[in-house]
Amino acid sequence: MPLARFDTPGRLRDAPEGSTFYDEWSGFVRLLFGPDNPGAPDIDDPSRRLGGFYNPTTTDVAVVVNRDLIWIGFPRPLFVGDQSAFAAGDTRDRSDRTTGGQSTQVEYLEWRVVRRPHDNKITKVTFTTETPEYWSELHRVHPEVVLRLYRELLGNPSIEERDIAPEGFYEPLNDWNTRDGIIHYIVTSPPNTLGQAIGQARGSVAGVSYRDNYETPGGDMTAVDPRIRLDLKALARKNLWVTLRDPVGLYILGWDDMGWTKPDDSPVGNYWRVVRPASEPALPALRVEYEVPASEGFVVGDISIGGRPIEHGGQLAEHITVLIGGLAGTRA
């Protein structure tokens, strides 16, 4: 049977039990998926069409494989091999509200760095894969919940409704999600949005089919776009129908801190904390913080990765993997 309802990312239960938000969120995602999208003609036999992309709430498919689409969270365009890349990677600002501004965190992973005032050393880095659509929809139904979450996640009870919805409508580029904090994606070029991710997956079955990676066109600037397109197109070529796995969202799959050392050169402890979702299992996650406990007597900026001290949040992002879950199956 088709999926009854799209769940929230991470199966979050931010809205009260019984709220209409859950049905409305499902309806919103269903619209993003749209109708089924038949696959491209077979490159070897144009008279035969390959598998396509389907909406799991309207189409019944016998699933035969789960496929996690995984990539590195550090921006691929900045991989230039020196420390300047990490400095550039920490750029996250209101590019469409700030003259000359730019945002470089284009791999569906955004982060914010907190530094100690007297020596500029990093004390905390917060990573998020939450989408603006979720927060906008939640605010439309439950503005009081969004305000409470802002206060809790940013540790600031003085945040007011007018700060996040100055004109009565939720403003994704409010100061507490840009200059003064981080809640969800803001990058717009290319856009880090749920709609963009679903559209990328939906479009992956269209156009010319590829027999192998040597036939793929060049020009991809990000790591995520070819990952989604190649993996799903390869499944469609097997005459399978593909979709994104519920709960649909972008997720932090995990991290690798092997080789990270304390100031005394001993291995670091586990300084990662999954914030959202808070329930088990913790991974994959939507919001993660990296902060050294005060009892350790040092801060994040005193840790070294491969012998180099951590000076930028991008050095951590390079060791984080991001995913979106896919499914493939057969249909009658």
Q: How far is CA 150 from CA 20, 112, 157, 273, in A?
A: 21, 15, 9, 18
Tell me, what's the pLDDT at 244? 97
How high is the mean pLDDT of the chain? 91
Question: Does the structure show a pLDDT above 60 at 124?
Answer: yes
pLDDT (0 to 100) of residue 229: 81
Phi–psi pair at 142, nearest 5 degrees: -135, 75
Tell me which of 204-213, 221-230, 316-325 is least confident.
204-213
Confidence of residue 2 (pLDDT cuts 50, 70, 90): very high
For residue 79, the model assigns a pLDDT of 78
Block residue for tokens 């691929």: 76
Give the least confident one: 2-11, 182-191, 251-260.
Answer: 182-191
- The burial of 150, by beta-carbon neighbours within 10 Å (0-12 exposed, 13-18 middle, 19 or more buried), is given as buried
Residues 90 and 84: their CA atoms lie apart, in Å, by 10
pLDDT at 212: 59
Q: What is the pLDDT of residue 99?
A: 44
CA 160 to chain centre: 27
Consecutive H or E run containing 87:
helix 83-89
Instruction: Give the amino acid at 288.
Output: V
Cα angle 151, 164, 117; round to 5:
60
Say how far residue 53 (Cα) sits from the centre of its chain.
Answer: 21
The edge-to-edge listing of strands for the beta sheet with 272-276 is: 110-115, 122-128, 287-290, 272-276
Given pLDDT bands bounded at 50, 70 and 90, which one contains residue 136? very high
Q: How confident is the model at residue 315 (pLDDT cuts 50, 70, 90)?
A: very high
Picking from 250, 233, 315, the residue whose alpha carbon sits closest to that of residue 71 is: 250
Collapsing DSSP states into helix, strand and coil, what is residue 142? coil
Q: What is the dihedral of CA 175, 178, 180, 182, to 10 degrees?
A: 120
